[in-house]
Structure formats: C-alpha cells, structure tokens
Amino acid sequence: MTTEIKLWKIENEDQLKVLINSKLNIEKRLESWIENDVSMLSDDLLVIGRQVSTDYGGIIDLLCINSSGDLTIAELKREKTPRDITAQILDYASWISSLASEKVIEIADKYFGKNQESLENAFRKRFNSELPEVLNNSHSMLIAATQIDSSSERIINYLSGPLYEMDINVVTFQCFKDSSGKEFIAKTYLIEPDRMGESRRSRTFEQLQEIADTNGVGELYKILLSSLEKHSLKPKRWKYLLSFTGKIGESTNAIFHQIPTMSSHEDGLKFRIFIDRFAKYFNTDKEIVLSILPLNTEEKSWSYEKSYEGYFLRDDLDKFMLGLDKIDPAHLPQCP
C-alpha cells in the first residue's frame, strides 16, 4: 500500500500549516534532479552514466556506482505498468550483471568526458578513496517513482523476499507547495535501506561452506576452492556465491563463480565461468577451456561478457582440475 506523506510548515514558532500535496507531474524533472544530486537516492552512490544503451536496445536512465565498486541501476517508473517496469529493470540487470571492469570504466569515462573528468578522479572526490581494482562484483536495482501501485509493491516485495533475495527497491517522491508557491520534495522507501543492507550482506567462508554441506556438495566445494587458489585465483565472498578474481593485464576481474546456494547432491556443484577472461588469465584458447568443462555446461548469451554455467559432479571436477594443471603447469609441485 502506498505510503501517504503529510508535511507541515511551522509558522510563528508554534503554528502549523499543512502543505498542499502538489499534483504537478515531477517525473520529467526527477531524472535531472537525481543526476545533479544522487543523494536523493543514497549517500553511497555516484552517477556514472545517463541514458546508457545496452546491447539489446534498452536505455538505462541512470547508472551508478557505490563506494565498494558495485553498480546500481536507477530507473524511473514514469507511466510504465508494473509488469513493464519490473521486466525492464530485470532485463537491464541481466546486462550489467557481468560487465567487466574495463567496460564499466569505458561507460563512466564517456559520461565524465564531457567535463574532462575520469572515473578514478570522480570516485576519489565522491568517496575520498581509490577506485577498487575489481568493479561490479554485485549490483542492485532501484525504481524511482512518484507513486507505487499495489501490484508493483507486491512484485518488488516478492523479488526482494527470502525466495529470490534480489537487491531491488523502490523510492517514491512526493511534491508539496506552500502558499508562496515554493516546492518541497519528500521521499520514502518501499523497503528500508538498512533492512536491504542486512539482507544482502555477504556470507562468511564458513557460512558458504555450511550451505554447500547442506546441499550435498560440501566436499566438491572445498576441493574446487583449494584447486582455484592453487592457481592464484583469489576468492571473494558474496551472499550467494564465491567469486574468484584474477589479474588480466592491468585489471583484476571476476573470472569464475562457484554457487553453493544453487547446488544439490543430484545436480552437483553449480558454477559460472566467464570464458574469455578465464582463457586470457590462463593464456590459452577458450576452446581448450570448454573442453575441460562438464557436458552439461550451457552458454548464457544474455551476458555482456560471455559466460557459461553448469554443474560439477566428482568425475567432472577431476577432469576440470586435471585440465587446469595441464594449462597452468607452473603451479604443480616440482619433482626433486
């Protein structure tokens, strides 16, 4: 149910006068307001793109980055139906979900270029810290609207709930006027940001291992973790998965995920591999990488950076690890 906001103006110290809820359509101005002062959405965001074109014909209203280097899509609801706005923002999320750091920097530098600025400088000014080596390890979705209907509210609560736990929220803005014609803006969130932050907090290594154990892939999870670390890939914890990063040239990017939350004893340990990055990291051909993956591996064509997903059973994992050792023999134990 949409939250109704009332504002009062204090006059003559102790007299209250209610402000009129303006029916003026502010959505045409809202995008520019947010671009000029993104703290309207969050104090932990920096706008890095406006009207960003995806590879599939979509246009993202505003693309932002936070102090951890993760991306946020900010999309204005305007006159879109609940089905349209939800499908649209999910489509955009599927595109940005695996953008490499280089592509994020390319989008941002194009945006900041009009002011002869760079992402690194803008990030340093905004957050008083250096740009992280790995960008876009995670992403969130934020719908901005002047009002939210019950259908949209129900959909967003469902997607952000315990079944899917998506990082998606709605912020609504309402405009008020006083007797002199001055305008005021108030905002509310569908889901309190603190509660969203708690729900998407990364799990510990122990918690991810426990999930793998519960889902019947604990031993596979432990073996794969050890094998990838042996090849100098660094694990990074997230809520749903363990992401492994590697340095390619001057950039560090996620190149492999193991996903215990979507695994089972019957199917095996789920993985996602960013095939081009993986091949570059190991200085090999992607066809060789594909040859050591399980037969159930499927290409995910929606990703900007081509990825494949599948499941490891024990025989598949042994084949994969043996293949890695052949590709990267420098990390094998040396015979005396």
Please tell me the least confidently modeled range out of 4-8, 138-142, 169-173.
Answer: 4-8
Share above pLDDT 90 across residues of the chain, in percent, rounded to a whole number: 47
Identify the band that residue 5 occupies on the pLDDT scale cut at 50, 70 and 90. confident
Identify the band that residue 216 occupies on the pLDDT scale cut at 50, 70 and 90. very high
* Residue burial 67-92, b: 16+ Cβ < 10 Å; e: rest: eebbbbbbbbbbebebeebbebbeeb
Residue range(s) in the chain whose domain bears CATH number 3.40.1350.10: 8-199
User: How is domain 8-199 classified at the CATH fold level?
Assistant: Trna Endonuclease; Chain: A, domain 1 (3.40.1350)
Residue 325 or 3, more confident = 325
Note the residue count of the chain: 336
End-to-end CA distance of the chain: 72
Identify the band that residue 194 occupies on the pLDDT scale cut at 50, 70 and 90. low
Contact 166, 160 (CB under 8 A): yes
304: exposed, middle or buried (Cβ count in 10 Å: 0-12, 13-18, 19+):
middle
Strand-strand pairing, 268-274 and 307-312: antiparallel
**Cα–Cα distance, 11 to 281 (Å, whole number):** 66
Please tell me the least confidently modeled range out of 11-15, 48-52, 163-167, 299-303.
Answer: 299-303
Q: What is the pLDDT of residues 142-187, one digit of tens each?
A: 999 888 888 888 999 888 876 677 889 999 888 888 888 888 888 8
What mean pLDDT, rounded, does the chain reach? 86
pLDDT at 199: 47
- Residue 145 phi/psi, 5-degree rounding, is -150, 160
Q: What is the pLDDT of residues 80-93, one digit of tens each?
A: 777 788 889 999 99
Residue 167 or 202, more confident = 167
Residue 177 or 229, more confident = 229
pLDDT at 23: 59
In the predicted structure, residue 329 carries a pLDDT above the cut 80: no
Residue 253 or 61, more confident = 61
How many Å is the maximal CA-CA distance in the chain?
A: 90
pLDDT at 289: 95
Q: What is the pLDDT of residues 31-79, one digit of tens each?
A: 889 999 999 999 999 999 999 999 888 999 999 999 989 999 999 987 7
**Cα–Cα distance, 301 to 95 (Å, whole number):** 10
Give the angle 50-54-56 at the CA atoms, nearest 5°.
150
Residue 300 or 303, more confident = 300
Please tell me the least confidently modeled range out of 195-204, 238-247, 252-261, 293-302.
Answer: 195-204
Please tell me the least confidently modeled range out of 38-47, 189-198, 276-285.
Answer: 189-198
**Cα–Cα distance, 106 to 62 (Å, whole number):** 15
Identify the band that residue 24 occupies on the pLDDT scale cut at 50, 70 and 90. low
Identify the band that residue 307 occupies on the pLDDT scale cut at 50, 70 and 90. confident
* CB-CB neighbours of 210 under 10 Å: 14
pLDDT at 97: 81
